[in-house]
Chains A and B, each alone.
Chain A
Amino acid sequence: MSSNSRNTQLAQLFATRHKQLYVAALAITRDRDAAEDVVLDAILAVAELPVSPDNLLAYLFRTVRNKALHLSKQNSRFNTDHDLTGFIDTNSQNAEQNLFTRQILRYLDELDSDQQQVLVMKLFGDLTFDEIAEITASNPNTVASWYRRGLILLKEKIHEPAL
Chain B
Amino acid sequence: MNQHYSGNYPNNDHEADEFEKRLSSIQLARPSEKYLRIPEQLASTSTAAGWLNWRWLSVAAAAIVIASVAIMNLSMVDSTISPLEPPLLASENRNLLPEPSPAIAARFIEGTHYTVLPSPVGFADGATTEVSMFFWYPCWPCATFEEHLTAWESELPDEVTLTRIPAIWSAEMRFQAQAYYSAQLLGVEDETHLKFYTAFQKDNSTINSEQDLQLFFEDFGVSALEFMRAFHSDALQERILLAEQSNNDYQVQSTPSMFVAGKFAISPQTAGGLEEMLLVADYLLELETQRVR
- A interface, CB within 8 angstroms of B: 2-4, 7, 10-11, 14-15, 18, 22-23, 26, 32-33, 35-36, 39-40, 43-44, 47-48, 50, 66, 73, 85-90, 92-93, 97, 100-101, 104, 112, 114-115, 119-120, 123-126, 137-139, 141-142, 144-146, 148-152, 154-155, 160, 162-163
Residues of A contacting B172 with CB < 8 Å? 149
Tell me which of B28-36, B213-221, B267-275, B283-291 binds A.
Answer: B28-36
- Scoring B residues 232 to 245 as 1 if CB is less than 8 Å from chain A, else 0, what string do you get? 10100000010011
* A112-B38 in contact (CB<8A): no
A114 to B7, CA, bound (A): 16
Helix, strand, loop or mixed for chain B's interface?
Answer: helix
A47 to B39, CA, bound (A): 11
Most A CB contacts (10 A, CB to CB) among B14, B28, B34, B171 go to B28
Helix, strand, loop or mixed for chain A's interface?
Answer: helix
* A47-B171 in contact (CB<8A): no
A43 to B244, CA, bound (A): 25
A137 to B43, CA, bound (A): 28
B49 CB to nearest A CB, Å: 4
For B24, give the chain A residue with the smallest CB separation: A123
Residues of A contacting B119 with CB < 8 Å? none
Residues of B contacting A119 with CB < 8 Å? 23
Residues of B contacting A139 with CB < 8 Å? 244, 247-248
Tell me which of B50-58, B73-81, B133-141, B197-205 binds A.
Answer: B50-58
A33 to B169, CA, bound (A): 34
- Contacting A47 at CB < 8 Å: which of B18, B26, B49? B49
- Contacting A149 at CB < 8 Å: which of B8, B31, B168? B8
Within 8 A of A (CB), among B1-55: 7-10, 12, 14-16, 18-20, 22-32, 34-36, 38-39, 41-43, 45-46, 49-50, 52-53
* A149-B28 in contact (CB<8A): no
A88 to B171, CA, bound (A): 26
- Contacting A86 at CB < 8 Å: which of B10, B29, B35, B168? B29
Residues of A contacting B30 with CB < 8 Å? 32, 89
* Interface check B193, CB cutoff 8 A: no
- Contacting A2 at CB < 8 Å: which of B24, B45, B53, B244? B53
A163 to B45, CA, bound (A): 54
* A3-B53 in contact (CB<8A): yes
* A88-B29 in contact (CB<8A): yes
Residues of A contacting B50 with CB < 8 Å? 3-4
- In the A-B complex, the 8 residue pairs with the smallest Cβ-Cβ separation, listed nearest first, are A163-B18, A11-B39, A139-B248, A89-B27, A145-B7, A3-B49, A32-B29, A50-B56
